[in-house]
Amino acid sequence: MNPIPPAEAEVHPSLGSTTLAILWKDLSAELRSRELLSAMLVFALLVILIFNFALDLKPAIRREVTSGVLWATFAFAGTLGLNRSMATEKDRGCLDGLLLAPVDRSAIYFGKALGNLAFMLVIEAIVLPVYSVLYNVNLFNLGLMMIILMGSVGYVAVGTLLSTMSVQTRTRDMLLPILLFPLVIPILIAAVKASAGFLDASPWRDIAPWFNLLLVYDVIFVAIAFMVFDYVVEE
């Protein structure tokens, strides 16, 4: 008599494969609709144009305000993108489907965060040359690019978590900026100071404290979001 074969073990997708699947879903959906990137790009370009006419300054003074104008633009456009990204998932019922899937919920966070980061980096890649032309400032600086990447990672890490919380409420459009901006003030200040330091060719000892603050902020808040995301999405 043949023994009864043991029940097959239930196989769950790995964290990495689930994260990449969610990222690919967001990217492919955006490539078809182009709703999110279009809104972020138009908003960012409008902010740049407004600052261009409002700050009718001398070239030397324009260089001094460059880092502040850039990060104000990135912050406003990034907030719009974070809000719409999660709101679309909620309105279409995709978020509920993701939460019901037999996968680690932290993979949902990382997939959404990577998608938001990709959208934000695309907008930044378009804004930088436009800003360079309008303000006649050379922004092709390796140190500046590194600071923009680190600042964007921290901004998206916090913003993705908070947008997941605020999307469950009726006042999500107003609630997200209220929750987000107080938490990202340290990273915005550090990013502005470090960006200004690289643009002014300041010595590393002047940039290092702000660089270290960005690095510590990114590590801490990515870890916090990883630990608490499962509790945030529970109803």
What distance in Å separates the CA atoms of residue 232 and residue 51, rounded to the nearest whole number?
Answer: 37
Assigned token pair, 111 = 């997939």
Output the pTM of the full model: 0.86
Quick: pLDDT tens for 134-163. Answer: 888 888 889 899 999 999 999 999 998 888
Question: What ranges make up the beta strands (E) of 73-159?
Answer: none
Quick: pLDDT tens for 70-127. Answer: 999 999 888 888 887 777 777 666 766 777 767 777 888 888 899 899 999 999 999 9
CB atoms within 10 A of CB 199: 20
CA dihedral 38, 109, 175, 195 (to 10 degrees): -70
Question: Which of residues 95 and 21 earns the better pLDDT score?
Answer: 21
- CA 48 centroid distance within chain: 19
**Rounded (5°) CA angle 143-117-127:** 60
Domain edges within the chain: 16-232
